Amino acid sequence: MNFFRKKEIIIRRASHPYKNGSFLQPLAVAIVSAILVALILIMGFLDIRRSETNLVGFMEDQALATISVLQRLTEDNLKSIVAMTGKMPTQAKTASQEEANYSKKLVIEAITALGQKIDEQWRKKSINNAYLKKYAADHNFLYVAVLNREGNAVYQSSPLKTNMLDENDLSANGRKATTIELLEKIRIKQGIGFVALRRKDGSGTVVINLDKQGLKYWSIKVAVERGINKMGEGHGIVYMQIFNDQEKLLGYIGKLPAGLNDKDFNHQKILKGTTRIVSRKVDVQGNNILDMAAPFTLDRKVIGFVRIGLERGSMDKIIAENRRNIFIFMLLVVVIALLSMWLLYHDQNRHLAGIIDMERRLEKAERLSSLGQLAAGVAHEIRNPLNAISMATQRLKRDFSPPGEVKALEFQNLSGVIRDEIRRLNGIIEEFLSFSKSRRLEFSDFPVTEVLQKIVSLIEEEAKTRSITLETKWHLSSAVIPMDINKLQQAFLNFIKNAMESITGQGKITIAVDKESKKYILVSISDTGCGMTAEEIEKIFSPEYTTKEKGLGLGIPLAMEIIRGHGGDVRVISRHGEGTTFEIILPCEKISDKT
């Protein structure tokens, strides 16, 4: 009853949480490592994004500063254009008056240049009403026409609006007023001026009529173009376009690369003045550009928008360098984090392994204690039949010896083997009872082959009944080593019996003795049995492991303990389904080779 209670305790301890911890611990460390690495990566990417955002912000500020300079220059030019210079005394012309006259002259020259283009198309006979209508709309002209020698319109952008004149203004000297005369009367009465370009031969005239809106547009356009000229190109500007609130071009620097168009930005949102600047990175025609759009203001009023493209070469280099440095830093931190986690896991696992080993030792001690109690309970029952068998054997040897010298000798040998095995069995029982106690080995020099041959003689009959062939290979005729004969015989017998039990049906066991090195011999026990998996090989020397349905499975652990007590070691070579070889290495004092 005590044994079974002890066994229950062992089973309960086998489910100790530390054993499960050996599986949960790597997972916990892996999760912590993954979270730490993820946080580091997120921080790194945020740092890269922040660095890129700062550089983009710097370039946006650079673009806004450029636009601000252009706005200031445009305001100065526009003030010169609209200055009222007529009130200044002619004898006291100032620099401002001269500047204003010069600015107005530029407006007239710009409009005159367009009139000359119209005249060129007229000479090529490429002019019609539709052409002039589109031309007037594109350039914010109120009225555009080409006149014949008499001053009447041949082609015009639209019918001339005469409803702003009186009835008597429509005629001159009793005839219908010409187009040029009507334009002059409109200028006098309504203040709507016009520019007229008369051919040298008098064959025709090109007239361009501007209202206040048109004059304002052209004044701003000329002011912007003068500001661009003063500011000059460069400053990393790939292109810059200035549009009014009608999305008509006021001036530009460079050329918009192919692949970009006017619809890339929401201009209406920009014209509302709610957006300071919008930007995007584009790669076109081999150029890396930061494409931006911002409001264009005059006198703190949004009158249009600016689209500007700056080279990203230096910015991309800085971003690439920052990204590389951050990635290197992240990699180092990740390596350090993983190394720290690994060291933490290794340290914890080492302590955990020590706890598990202590647990196993405790289980082993409890099991051995239970086995000792069990052995103490059955030892008396086993010894009685052994004594009876021993006495019966002695009587058979004394009184029932067969006739004939050969048979009598064979009978004496077999009865002697039985008597010796009974004695050894009794010794095993004594050993089993004291298994948990320390055992002293009594060494004496003895040949290994004789010990093995005795075991072969003992189990030969049993092997035949199982259809198992025993084969011996004594490559060393005399391998004398220091040994405890009985204990080493028990160890060899345990290995051979284990080999026999692994064979189902016919099979073969090969026992060989060979030289391992100058100071060691090698005893190999090979079978053609079922073999073992790698997991089974790891557990085979553990006292608590057994594959037998009956028995305690202490044969191999006992044998291993005996071999190690002799200063030797055991190697296991096995392949599942093909057989197993136990290689037993034992130290020796002398080896005599068969010659």
For the segment 193-201, the average pLDDT, to the nearest whole number, is: 86
So what's the pLDDT on residue 576?
Answer: 87
Kindly state whether residue 580 falls inside one of the protein's structural domains: yes
Burial class of residue 583 in the structure, from the number of CB atoms within 10 Å of its CB (0-12 exposed, 13-18 middle, 19+ buried): middle
Is there a domain that residue 139 lies in?
yes
Average pLDDT over the chain reads 79
In sequence order, what are the beta bridge partners of 181? none
Tell me whether residue 291 is in a domain: no
Q: Is residue 108 part of a domain?
A: yes
Which domain-ending residue is among 215, 243, 276? 215
Burial of 424 (0-12, 13-18, 19+ CB in 10 A): middle
63-84 residue pLDDT tens: 899 889 999 998 888 887 765 3
Q: Is residue 176 part of a domain?
A: yes
CB 579 within 8 A of CB 528: yes
Is 344 within a domain? no
| Model confidence pLDDT, tens digit, residues 464-486 | 988 999 999 998 767 888 998 88
Residue 249 or 352, more confident:
249
Domain CATH number, residue 566: 3.30.565.10
Q: How confident is the model at residue 416 (pLDDT cuts 50, 70, 90)?
A: confident
> Would you say residue 527 has pLDDT above 90?
yes
Coil, helix or strand at residue 426? helix
Domain boundary among 215, 246, 271: 215
Q: Exposure of 510 by Cβ count < 10 A (0-12 exposed, 13-18 middle, 19+ buried)?
A: middle
Give the confidence band of 430 by pLDDT, cuts at 50, 70, 90: low
State yes or no: pLDDT of 398 exceeds 60: yes
Q: Of 215, 232, 247, which residue constitutes the final position of a domain?
A: 215
Q: Is residue 551 part of a domain?
A: yes
Q: pLDDT-derived band of residue 547, with 50, 70 and 90 as boundaries?
A: low
% of the chain residues with pLDDT over 70:
83
Pairing of strands 468-474, 507-515: parallel
Residue 11 has what pLDDT? Answer: 34
CB contact at 8 A, 497 and 555: yes
Query: 3-state SS of 440-502?
Result: CCCCEEEEHHHHHHHHHHHHHHHHHHCCEEEEEEECCCECEEEECHHHHHHHHHHHHHHHHHC
- CB neighbour list of residue 338: distance below 8 Å, 6 or more residues apart: 33, 37
d(CA 252, CA 260): 15
φ and ψ at residue 299, rounded to 5 degrees: 55, 40
For the chain, what is the largest distance between any 2 Cα atoms, rounded to a whole number of angstroms?
180
Mean pLDDT of 236-257: 87
Provide the 10 A C-beta neighbour count for residue 402.
11
Contacts of 25 (CB under 8 A, 6+ apart): 345, 348, 349, 352
Percent of the chain with pLDDT strictly greater than 90: 13
Q: 256 near 237, Cβ under 8 Å?
A: no
Range of the domain at 569: 438-587
CA atoms within 13 A of residue 165's CA, in its CB half-sphere: 19
- Alpha carbons 472 and 512: distance in angstroms, whole number: 6
In the sheet that 507-515 helps form, which strands lie side by side, from edge to edge?
A: 468-474, 507-515, 520-527, 579-587, 569-575
Residue 510 has pLDDT above 90, yes or no: yes
Q: How far apart are the first and last CA of the chain?
A: 61
Residue 154's contacts (CB-CB under 8 Å, 6 or more residues apart) are 145, 146, 147, 148, 204
Q: What total of structural domains would you count in the chain? A: 2
**Of 90-99, 297-306, 424-433, 571-580, where does mean pLDDT reach its minimum?**
90-99
- Domain presence at residue 411: no
Is-contact 141 157, C-beta < 8 A?
A: yes
* pLDDT of 522: 93
pLDDT of residue 550: 42
